[in-house]
Structure 1
Amino acid sequence: MGRTAASPTARPVTAADWIGAARLRTLPLAVAPVVIGTGAAILVGDVFHWVLALACLAVAVSLQIGVNFANDYSDGVRGTDAHRVGPARLTASGRVRPRAVLLAAIAFFGIAALVGLAVTVRTQQWWFVIVGLVCIVAAWFYTGGKRPYGYNALGEVFVFVFFGLVATLGTTWVQAMALPQEAWFGAVAAGLLACAVLLANNLRDIEQDARVGKRTLSVVIGRRWTQVLFTAFVLLAFAISWYLAFFYPVAWLASLALLAAGPAILIVWTYRTPRELITALALTSLTSLAYAGFLFWAFVA
């Protein structure tokens, strides 16, 4: 299926529409691993390399926004988003030319590449170039290309690896040139919470995705197991913080993030309409940011 043609009476696209398409509610998933990774780096080196930390943040956020625009483009031209429940996408609405959305994705991938190259030059870790290329290629083929792996139940693998392990461990290595076990624990936790957000998103779209042949993990395992997996991912992340709290007592405060995670779990299990899951998604995303902040505090205290 192709994209929907724009209605001659459709309202003009505004800056707010573009900002909405960037899906700001997902940005905590890019910020959280950088916060955790920076905390682990300070734990090792007892120094805050704020310029490198900000550079890592710029790379992570740019990649996240690039992925969001790339998904908007790829899903839109396939017709996958024609009847989605969540906020309208630019491409699927027909109000923006697909090429413009594609260029937006390329622009943000380009920003991530340039900042990443600057970090590479600064640290002389030239193998970062390969890591960066892999990240961008993986981001594109999540929903792009002839056989996107996001359409074959592998989206959670991508999110866990790149928005959990790579983002967190890469941030720590850039600043400390070491990977303490605290960084690994934090990376796993960040990845689990990011996967939980994706599960909430895919649970919301499960019926539409099944109709158009988009085989997300939720489509493959069904609604009930998605609810179970979502809950397990969230609780496992908190179990990691409880373990770390025996060595870094401030980590107990990460449990306060359950004030957002608890309602998200409740919504996932009791929702009556798919639209309710948008709230669960936002709460889980907020959980990841609060969790990361408390873990950072625990590491530097």
Structure 2
Amino acid sequence: MLKQLCGVARLNFLSLSLLCVALAATASWQAGQGLSVGSLLLVTAIALCAHISVNALNEYQDFKSGLDFLTKRTPFSGGSGTLITYPEAAYPALWLAVISLLLVISGGLYLSYQLNWQPLLIGIPGVALIYGYTRYVNRWPLLCLLAPGLGFGVFMLLGSYWVLAGSISAGAWLLALIVTLLVSNLLLLNQFPDVEADRQVGRRHLPIVIGRRHSASVYTLLLLLSYLLLIAGVISGILPWQCLLGLLSLGLAVKLLPGLFRYADKPEQLSRYLGLNVLLCHLYPLLLLAGLLWAGPA
């Protein structure tokens, strides 16, 4: 059963949560704030539990709705397929989602007791997003586009920074917005292979509503906006100039975008570009993190 629970938790994708917390911690350190090891470990645990909960709940609900039986899986989209192979693991998957979510709530309440109540302004909507993402959010195209990014960029990264630094800075907001755009793009592109299957179960995300090719244009716009925010942040002095290391990720974008438009309506040939997108979504924040380390404490 452990193997099945690891499958529905999608352990191979949890690196994104670790990266968000690491970026928040580095930004807090670079801003001159002392880091509490206990607080860092706790926010890391909360982030991982939140990610596990939304993954496991997604796997359970997609299995129960029948979507798993319609989806053509790729290494980056369509779920893990664990419950198709092991249907007896469906209710353990649900319990994993519930217990993980309860741990998120407990950890958040403990932090609010130890620090102050204000981070709950981020925590409460975050919990609501975990619960409602698969069942409700996927029926509202614009919300479905932005929700994944808000989950990782605002609720996770900005929330972690708030706990670690004790306040929110303009630099933290900029980093959160950049990650919001990247992760929204990550999920947007991963929806391309699932259009036909998702339509059959009532979903209404952007590739269904406006088509894959127009969604590729939205992807390009969000990616461009993330780089413009980075440049504006450096020019204004909100971010140290060393964060321009993030522009090195443009090499991946240059490889990705032509293939995305070429094969937008041929999802069976998109797998390579889905992989490049996952790599971009990790490399760009890692380069920002390296830039903050290079800059050193303010």
Instruction: Give % identity.
Output: 25
- The alignment covers a number of residue pairs equal to 284
Q: Give the 3 Å change call, closer, same or farther, for CA 242–127 of structure 1 in structure 2.
A: closer
Corresponding residue for 1:158?
147
2:209 corresponds to which of 208, 220, 227: 220
Q: CA deviation digits over 1:25-66, x for unaligned, max 9?
A: 533432343233223322333423343233222212221121
Tell me whether 263-272 or 225-234 shows the greater mean CA deviation.
Answer: 263-272
Q: Equivalents in 2 of 1:176, 1:190: separation in Å?
A: 19
1:125-164 residue pairs with structure 2 within 5 A? 125-129=116-120, 131-144=122-135, 148-153=136-141, 154-164=143-153
* Distance in structure 2 (CA, Å) of the matches to 1:175 and 1:71: 30
- 1:39 and 2:31 aligned: no
Deviation at 1:240, TM superposition (A): 2.2
CA separation in 1, counterparts of 2:249 and 2:36?
Answer: 27
2:259 to 264, 267, 286: 267
| Alignment correspondent of 1:95 | 87
Structure 1 pair 136/276, CA: closer, same or farther in 2 (3 Å)?
farther
Aligned equivalent of 1:184, options 140, 156, 173:
173
Separation in 2, partners of 1:213, 1:167: 29
* Counterparts of 1:106 and 1:135, CA distance in 2: 15
Distance in 2 (alpha carbons) for counterparts of 1:265 and 1:25: 25
Give the corresponding residue for 1:290.
283
How far apart, in 2, do the equivalents of 1:264 and 1:27 lie?
A: 23
Task: Quote the offset at 1:164 in angstroms.
Answer: 1.4
Q: C-alpha root-mean-square deviation of aligned residues, in Å?
A: 2.5
1:70 aligns with 2:57: yes
Q: Is the 8 Å Cα contact of residues 25 and 285 (structure 1) preserved in structure 2?
A: no
Query: Against the structure 1 CA distance between its residues 130 and 242, is the aligned structure 2 distance closer, same or farther, given a 3 Å change threshold?
Result: closer
What 5-or-longer segments of structure 1 have no aligned partner? Answer: 1-12
Residue aligned with 1:143, SS: coil
In 1, the alpha carbon distance for the partners of 2:144 and 2:17 equals: 16
- The answer as to 2:105 corresponding to 1:113 is yes
- Provide closer, same or farther for how the CA distance between residues 95 and 167 of structure 1 changes in structure 2, counting only shifts above 3 A: same
Alignment of 1:73-84 (within 5 A): 73-84=60-71
Write the distance in 1 (CA, Å) between the matches of 2:126 and 2:33: 29
**Contact kept? 1:194, 1:285, Cα under 8 Å:** no
Judging changes above 3 Å, is the alpha-carbon distance between structure 1 residues 129 and 239 closer, same or farther for their aligned structure 2 residues? closer
1:42–1:264 distance in 2 versus 1, CA, 3 Å:
same
Contact 1:251 1:295 in 2 (8 A): yes
Q: 2:189 maps to which residue?
A: 200
Tell me how far apart the structure 1 counterparts of residues 279 and 43 of structure 2 sit (CA, whole Å).
20
Distance in 1 separating the partners of 2:269 and 2:245: 28
Show the counterpart of 1:241: 230
Deviant stretches of 4+, over 6 Å: none
The alpha-carbon deviation at position 165 of structure 1 amounts to: 1.6
Structure 2: gaps of 5 or more residues? 74-78
TM-score, L = length of structure 1 = 0.83
- Please give the per-residue CA displacement for 1:168-199, whole angstroms capped at 9, x wherever unaligned: 22122112222211111111100000000111
Is this contact kept in 1: 2:178–2:229, CA < 8 A? yes
Aligned mates of 2:251, 2:8 — CA distance in 1:
28
Superimposed CA distance per residue, residues 127-175 of structure 1 (whole angstroms, 9 cap, x where no aligned partner): 445643432222111113xxx1213322223223222122222122112
- Shift in alpha-carbon separation, 1:61–1:257, aligned structure 2, 3 A: farther
**Shift of residue 216, structure 1, vs aligned partner:** 1.4
1:237-288 Cα distance to aligned partner (Å, 9 max, x none): 2222233344422112112223444433343223374244444334323323
- Distance in 2, Cα, partners of 1:234 & 1:60: 24
Which residue in 2 is equivalent to 1:281?
A: 274
CA contact (8 A) 1:42 1:48 kept: yes
1:203 Cα deviation after fit: 1.2
Structure 1 distance, partners of 2:289, 2:80, is 35
How far does residue 73 in structure 1 lie from its aligned partner after superposition? 0.8
* Structure-2-length-normalised TM-score: 0.84
Q: What secondary structure does 2:189 align onto?
A: helix
